[in-house]
Structure 1
């Protein structure tokens, strides 16, 4: 998580816990960047995503509070389980929380929702 100095220790803990929980739930890597974009938002988010340790298996959430922008970038492997419609739903949920003044709650809820959608269904064997 970047720009973390804008958050209290408790808020950072909430976001870090949401990321850890999302990774366990989905088996994908999650990253959150909060801050201003360097240039156009989408290309900036894509560059951040490409610089991650395992971009193909990663989901990056970029939040630019001042510009009121949320970008989600998914890697090629993660995209198999997390489609554009599911990303859009999570983005709308985050934006709704942000509009109500809840930046941390919106990030936590959005990361959780992305992980829920990315979770592979449990295989059940018939008997």
Structure 2
């Protein structure tokens, strides 16, 4: 073994026992996605909410929903009746047995009665 080979060998042995300095972590674009989403999603929700808030049609829809919710909870606003007056043409459906004609006849009048479009007159 020559002197240069021996020196090379021992240099390699010494380098194995030395601690290497820690390498800087490589920044990947994937590591930036999560913080970017944490920023983007609330901003998008805020922008959508602002757009809906500025739209006059959404105010009417919101007011309509609010009144309906109050009526369902029994907290109708003052000055408005809590339940409308029942009419013979209520849109509430009925069973076929309630509306069927004598002789088990089913025609357009019976279908309209089942759907609540006309009263039973037979």
* TM-score class normalised by the smaller sequence: under 0.3
Higher relative strand content: 1
TM-score by length of 1: 0.21
TM-score by length of 2: 0.22
> Which is bigger in relative contact order (C-alpha 8 A, separation at least 6)?
1
